[in-house]
């Protein structure tokens, strides 16, 4: 299984800063994720506009084939580039991701999509996708349907309950994403407490 990190977003709520490259404890936000999770996977692929910031990591960097379509195009590009049948897709703005939670997803992966449910909502940017869904992703992109949750009705889905996830991540910090400067400050504080 490969780890695919989506780092090509516009970071509009962060202002002019690219959140994938925000500094966190001597690393970038994406670097924190790579260090935490790469040992669990056969390879790491980063989907980004520019390979230069990731040269210091042992990762493969690719770009979207369909830029400007949101996360669905990053998932499509990552799955196409991977030779593994299953792949963990992860947004770059989840630096508190716990390896124990990732192992739960890995251990349940057998369908087209293995996805956590938090409250009533699926979390498509921290989920295991099967490579075999690439044609469906491409059809959706070409049809102008970029909404990831619309895919759920077309896939065999394994839902992972919040109660199961809380056993390994009681506060669900793995799902705390950095969308704003306030989120960034909160995550920095939590990471300092963990050290």
Long-range contacts formed by 15-21: CB under 8 A, 24+ apart: 15/181, 19/92, 19/93, 19/178, 19/179, 19/184, 20/48, 20/53, 20/92, 20/93, 21/53
Q: Which of 74, 100, 98 lies closest to 87, judged by CA?
A: 74
Does the structure show a pLDDT above 70 at 14? no
Domains: count for the chain: 1
Question: Is the whole-model pTM more than 0.85?
Answer: yes
If you average pLDDT over every residue of the chain, what do you get? 93
CB-CB neighbours of 112 under 10 Å? 21
Does the structure show a pLDDT above 80 at 111? yes
Residue 123 sits in a domain whose CATH number is 3.90.550.10
Q: 50-69, pLDDT tens digit by residue?
A: 999 999 998 999 999 999 99
Does the structure show a pLDDT above 70 at 70? yes
> Could you give the percent of the chain with pLDDT greater than 70?
95
CA of residue 174 relative to chain centroid, distance: 11
Q: 117-170, pLDDT tens digit by residue?
A: 999 999 999 999 999 999 999 999 999 999 999 999 999 999 999 999 999 999
Residue 42 contacts residue 1 (beta carbons within 8 Å): yes
Query: What is the domain range of residue 58?
Result: 2-194
């Amino acid at each position: 299984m490969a780890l695919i990190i989506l780092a090509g977003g516009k970071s509009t709520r962060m202002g002019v800063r690219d959140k994938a490259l925000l500094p966190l404890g001597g690393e970038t936000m994406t670097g924190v994720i790579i260090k935490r999770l790469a040992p669990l996977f056969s390879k790491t692929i980063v989907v980004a506009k520019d390979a230069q910031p990731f040269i210091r990591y042992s990762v493969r960097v690719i770009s979207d084939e369909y830029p400007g379509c949101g996360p669905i195009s990053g998932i499509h590009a990552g799955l196409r580039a991977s030779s593994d049948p299953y792949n963990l897709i992860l947004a770059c703005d989840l630096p508190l991701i716990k390896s124990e939670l990732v192992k739960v997803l890995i251990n349940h992966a057998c369908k087209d999509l293995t996805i956590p449910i938090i409250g009533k909502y699926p979390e498509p940017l921290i989920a295991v996708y099967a490579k075999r869904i690439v044609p469906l992703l491409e059809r959706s992109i070409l049809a102008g349907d970029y909404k990831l949750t619309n895919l759920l009705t077309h896939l065999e889905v394994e839902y992972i309950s919040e109660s199961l996830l809380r056993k390994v991540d009681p506060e669900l910090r793995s799902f705390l994403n950095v969308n704003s400067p306030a989120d960034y400050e909160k995550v920095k504080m939590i990471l300092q407490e963990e050290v």
